Structure formats: structure tokens, C-alpha cells
Amino acid sequence: LIKDLFPKTDCSRVSYPEFTAALETVLKQDNYEMVPVQVDKVVQMYETMLTRHSTMIVGPTGGGKSVVINALVKTSTVLGYPARTYTLNPKAVSVIELYGVLNPETRDWYDGLLSNIFRAVNKPLDPGSKERKYILFDGDVDALWIENMNSVMDDNKILTLANGERIRLLAHCQLLFEVGDLQYASPATVSRAGMVYVDPINLGYQPYWTRWVNLNVKADEELRELLNGIFDKYIPSSLTLIHEGSLPGQETGGEGTPPLRTIIPQTPLNMIVQLCQMLQASLDEANLGSMSPEELEAVFIQSVYASLGASLVAEAQTVFDAHVKNLTGFLNVVDSDDRLANYTQIPTAESSWYHYTLDRSKNAWVPWRHLVRSYVHDGDKSFGDILVPTTDSTKLTWILSLMNEFAFRGRVYKIKRPCIVVGDTGTSKTATMMNFLRSLSPDKYLVIAELPPTPAKFHYIFNLRDLSRIIQGLTATEKIIFNTKEMFVRAWRNEFTRTICDRLNTDELVIAELPPTPAKFHYIFNLRDLSRIIQGLTATEKIIFNTKEMFVRAWRNEFTRTICDRLNTDEDLSLMSGHIADSVKRNFPQDVNVVMRDPLLFGDFRNALKETEPRYYEDLLDYSAVGHLFTEILEEYNESAGAKARLDLVLFEDAREHLTRIHRALRLSRGHCMVVGVEGGGKRSLVRLASFAAGYQVFTIQLSRGYNEASFKEDLKSLYNLLGVKNQATVFLFTAAEIVEEERKTSKDIH
């Protein structure tokens, strides 16, 4: 800046030889690379702190901000000025929890996190002490909390609390801020602090890799060179392809490609960190020196696919796979069950290297499908607890085990690396995660949702839903066909495969032709809907559905209940009815009349009043049969409910249809139902009658003056007591009028 303003002025940089020498010593002790750009940033930080008592180091993740601060603190200690940092994230707590609160009734003062730390570090030092103390704010800067610090950051150096207390920032204490950007900081705040900017592009990913190699391969120089050679062979060009794309002719002489799309944003450094974690989990340090170069390269390739290639979308994975295969220089072989591809061969029986894993006991690449355990059906399990192993779930379980605690060649690795599972709704993320957690030893692990102190012999595992990387395997079609073929009788397997293939095409038409709009925001269809349809089909019994046309009719009913009941216009209903009819005509032309006959009235309430008789899910054929059955159920309900809860209903045809729909939803495992309609349309009455027919009691909340979120949670405790302690089958009937208006938290709790 000075050079630009005064071009003829020679402004040489001030050197700090003693500080620089101590800094180099610290970096070498911590096995960091001596990167000139990073050394300059530490010196800039030091210079800024000589004139400012508040300093911000700003830059995106991966720029080395933490390394700069830690190196500066350790260098200060080496120079005879013992330094200590007190780190807090100001955005992790509320403003009251940060600064403290004054009780308006008792006038008692309760310190906050920052006020407590600030008071403790600003106590006078012992005479002759050269100690330095830094309060490090590691979190975003915004006006919600930083404005209260302005009086500390300016020349006043005073923190004023809500109780009137004023605490002075002493000379031995300084404020440090580690932030990604300043887009929410006011000019008043920015002007009060010194600024140092770090750029991840200047640092790059090479220093992290070099440090990892130096830490994990300490004695064997030849092995370090081999690892670095493999790294240079695969990584630079792969990262360039992912983040910048390729020019025409670069990728196997074909056309250029744009940057590859990832499911979540990732920087090159993110990918290298994940690569190093995969290598650390996969390599056995005890036998590392005895590994052949071919085996080491094979392990490296597998780690590349599980790191750089893990977050790529399906189309990008194809390009990435071709790129890595081209880099290897290996020969392509057509592998089989009897002849597996070895370390220096590219297997081609599967479409991609993503579909293979490394089996080091066989010195070969093995298809993931060979590792999928056979599904054994347990008739006692509810549908929601069934998990059919697939290639996809096997991959995910493998990587979760590897990152958590994986016994490999007799050695237990404890990587303790957090995993983020990313994927579309309904792709079995939660089911696979819960299945993995249930497989862990309860003597060593606690699966929790909150954070009480952990017993010494236990490890914490946090299951954060809706937050691992996508590992591609079977397509959606293959998964559903596989599941269905395992669930249904052997005699119908081939027929059902054709039916379900066509049904999946119908699903694609739903997604393509009925997208969500502002007027139809609930038109969101995914694999979870497919699962619900199959769940409904599992309610059928062979004793009732003993012909092909009856089962196809049951499929039509489940599709209609799951998909069509959510459509809110006649045009959309007609569109989907046409697609269903076309699908039936293509696959079962001789059964069209039976399958497409209306009305669709299915249920298992014929024996609802006969507790000793079995219930069978069946086609009830017409309104007359449904009306007769529900009339009997209504009479029994009124006799048992008493005068106050009596239902006086006229069961016209629409009411009978709605009763069968609600009853079907309630009878399914994890079945929930949202009943939508105008006020006074009989929604609650129909839910009560359907619940009685399904064998459930109804639980409701009673609104009163002053009813709030705390009252709602007390009612939920009563509900849980009914369900968990007394084991009573219960329907929670919750209406829109009962949503407590506290940021609509009750609806979130229900969700």
C-alpha cells in the first residue's frame, strides 16, 4: 500500500531475527512445514499486536488461522513471555449466557461465560511476571454480541456489564478474533481492531500432506518418497479436474469437462484431510515397511475414491472414475468370481471402481456385492425395523466402522473422525446409521442425544440426523427390486420384478410431472413414499390375495393412498389415474377390468369387534359392506364411550372412504396421518371412530388460559407414560388450533 502511494520510496520490511528464529523452532517442533507465506502471517500478527490490543485474523476455513495463533502463542513462550489463550465461541451461547444477567427481582448477578473469563484473566499479575493472556473469540462476528465489546476494543479498554460493573482490560491481556469473514460486522467494530487476512489459496494443501507423511512415516525415507510419488501421480490432476475441470484433449483425448459437481461444498484441503484420515485408518503402521509398492498404491487408490471421490454426484463420479483409471497405467481385465483383479489391474466386470473394495487377504479387488450379507426375514419385526442389506448400506457401514473403531489385521484403530451422511430423503441414511449403532458394544459405547458427563469407560457417539458422504451403489430401481424379491413369495418373483420396474417408472412420472409449486408445496415425493407403498403391500396375506389380479389391485390401492391422496386438484388426480391405468394395461392387460374397478376400499376392520379373531387386510369391494361394518363399530363405540363422547354420524360414501384411509394409516407401523379439510367437516369424529376400529385409544390435550410450551411438554410426558410405561396403543389427536404460538415450537416437537 505504501509502495502504491509513494512509488519512489524504498520501504524495506522491518525484520525480527530473534522472533523469527524462535518461530522456526516452534514450527519444526510441531512438524509443520516452513511455508514462507504462513511465516509472514505470524510476523504480521505479531506486528499488529504490538500496536493494537484487539486483533482479528480473517479468512476462509483452511487458511491456517489456528496454526498462526498457536504458533504465535508458543513463540511468545519460547521468548520468555509465557502465554495462554482462553478460547470461546460467542455464537454457541446466547447474549445473556455470554455477558451475564441481573435478576430483576432479587438483584442477584449471574456471570456469563465471557464476563467470568474476562474478570479472571484481568487480575493483576505478580510483580516481575511477564505472562501474556489472550481471550480468543473463535466464531462469527455480528452485531448481536460484538457491539457490547466496542468499549473494550477502543482506547477505553473497559467492559461494562448490565449490573453496572466495569472491568478494565489490563496491559498483559489482549483480545483475538478468529473469523471467516466480516460481512455482519459494523464499520465501528472493524475500525477498532487490527486486521490480518489469510488466504487458503496461498497456503494450499501440500503442507498438510507433508506434515502427515512426516508424522506417520518417521523412519523410512524410502517409504516417504514412495508415498509422495503416489500422491503426485494421482492428487494434483484429480483436484484440478474436480475444482477447475479439464480442457479439451486432457481427459483421454475427449472434450473438456466443467468442474465436477459435489453434493456438498469441499475445498482441496478438505479432501486431502479426508484422504489422510482414510490412509491412516487403512494402513497398518506395524507392517507398513513390509508392504509392497503395488499394495500401497492399491490402498491409496481406494482412499482416493473414499475421499476425493466420495462427495461427487453420480454423473461426476463417471468422469472421476475414468480419470483415475487413466492415471494408473494399469491393464483392464474382465474379472469374475473365480478370477479377481489383482493390485495392478483394473477390474471391468462392474461399471466403475466405486463398486469394488480392496481385499488385502486375497491381494485383489472384490466387488462390494460379494460382501453384502444375505437377508433373512424375521416375521416378528415390524416393517420400520427391517433393513435389507444392500451394496450401499454395506459401504456406509464399512466407512462408519473404519472412522470409529475398526479392527484391521489385529490392530484397533481409533480415528474418532466425525462422519456426515448426506443423501436424498428416504435413502436409508437413518436406518443404516441406527443399525450400525446397535451393532456396537453397549459396554463401551453410549449412543446419546444430549451431553451429560460420560462415565470413564464409555465413549460418546453422537447420532446427528439429517446431517457421511454419499457412497454410490445400487440404483434406486435395483434396491427396490432387491427388497421386494426378498420379501414376497418365491413363486411370484419374476412377475413382481416386471411390475415393480414399471411402477418405478410411474414414480418417475410423479416426480417429473407433479413438481412442488407455491400452491402445491406439499408435492414432495421420494423413496420414502416407495417404502410406504411396499409397507402397505406387506400387510397382505396369501390366504386373501391368492390371485395375480387381486395383488395388483392391492398395489393400485397402496399407490393411490400414498401418492394420489396428497393431490389437491382434479386435473392431477386424472393425470395419475391415467398413468396407473397405462401401467396396468402394459403389464396385465387381461386383468385391467378387475384392477381398475372402483371404489378402492381396503381394510382389516371386518373383525375389529372380535378380539379373538384374526384380522386380514382385504378388498371390501363396495360402500355397502364398509357402511355395514362401520355402523356396527360406531354402535359399539357409542356404548363404550358414554354420553359425552358419543358420536352421531351419518356414514355417507365420502365418510366411508375417509374412514378406510385413516384406518389404513393408523394400522401401519409408524403410521401417521394428516387430515385436511374445512372446519366442521367431521375430521376429529372420523379420527376417533377409525382409532377405535384400529384398537387405539385417543389422547388429546386440553387448552386452557395460560397454556404454553411448558404445559404442552407436560402433556407429552403423560402421553409417553401411556405408551412406554402402560403400553397402551394410543393415537395422539392434535389439531391446528392447539399449536402454541411460541415460534410454533409445538409443531416442531410433533415433527
Distance from C-alpha of 373 to C-alpha of 361, rounded to nearest angstrom:
19
Query: What is the average pLDDT score of the chain?
Result: 82
Distance from C-alpha of 111 to C-alpha of 549, rounded to nearest angstrom:
73
Task: Kindly list the distances between the CA atom of residue 496 and the CA atoms of 59, 382, 490, 491, 587, in Å, as whole numbers in the listed order.
Answer: 57, 22, 10, 10, 10
Distance from C-alpha of 566 to C-alpha of 675, rounded to nearest angstrom:
10
pLDDT at 506: 65
**Facing residues of 176 across strands?**
55, 136
Parts of the chain belonging to CATH 1.20.920.30: 476-592
Parts of the chain belonging to CATH 3.40.50.300: 17-203
| Contact present, 305 and 353 (Cβ < 8 Å) | yes
Q: What angle, 0 to 180 degrees and rounded to 10, lies between the N-to-C axes of helices 493-513 and 476-487?
A: 140
CATH class of 476-592: mainly alpha
Instruction: Report which residue type is found at 750.
Output: I
Instruction: Report which residue type is found at 40.
Output: D
pLDDT at 174: 95
| Contact present, 246 and 260 (Cβ < 8 Å) | no
pLDDT at 589: 86
pLDDT at 248: 57
DSSP for 531-586 reads: HHHHHHHTT--TTT--SHHHHHHHHHHHHHHHTGGG--SHHHHHHHHHHHHHHHHH
**Facing residues of 50 across strands?**
none
Distance from C-alpha of 431 to C-alpha of 346, rounded to nearest angstrom:
33
**Residue numbers in the chain where pLDDT is lower than 70:** 1-2, 11, 219, 247-255, 284-289, 405-416, 444-508, 643, 739-751
Task: Kindly list the distances between the CA atom of residue 122 and the CA atoms of 146, 496, 699, in Å, as whole numbers in the listed order.
Answer: 19, 75, 57
- Residue 538 neighbours by CB under 8 Å, 6+ apart: 383, 487
Nearest to 501 by CA among 523, 485, 525, 524: 485
- Residue 548 neighbours by CB under 8 Å, 6+ apart: 492, 495, 588, 591
Distance from C-alpha of 564 to C-alpha of 718, rounded to nearest angstrom:
35
Distance from C-alpha of 296 to C-alpha of 41, rounded to nearest angstrom:
37
Distance from C-alpha of 244 to C-alpha of 26, rounded to nearest angstrom:
36
Distance from C-alpha of 250 to C-alpha of 50, rounded to nearest angstrom:
51
Nearest to 135 by CA among 94, 167, 182: 167
Question: Positive or negative CA dihedral for 610, 612, 615, 619?
Answer: negative
| Contact present, 259 and 316 (Cβ < 8 Å) | no
Grid coordinates belonging to 475: 440404483
Residue 34 neighbours by CB distance under 10 Å? 11
pLDDT at 298: 93
Question: Positive or negative CA dihedral for 627, 628, 630, 631?
Answer: positive
Nearest to 195 by CA among 34, 18, 51: 51
- Residue 85 neighbours by CB under 8 Å, 6+ apart: 69, 73, 133, 134, 135, 136, 176
pLDDT at 55: 95
CATH class of 17-203: alpha beta
User: What global pTM score does this model have?
Assistant: 0.69
| Contact present, 400 and 430 (Cβ < 8 Å) | no
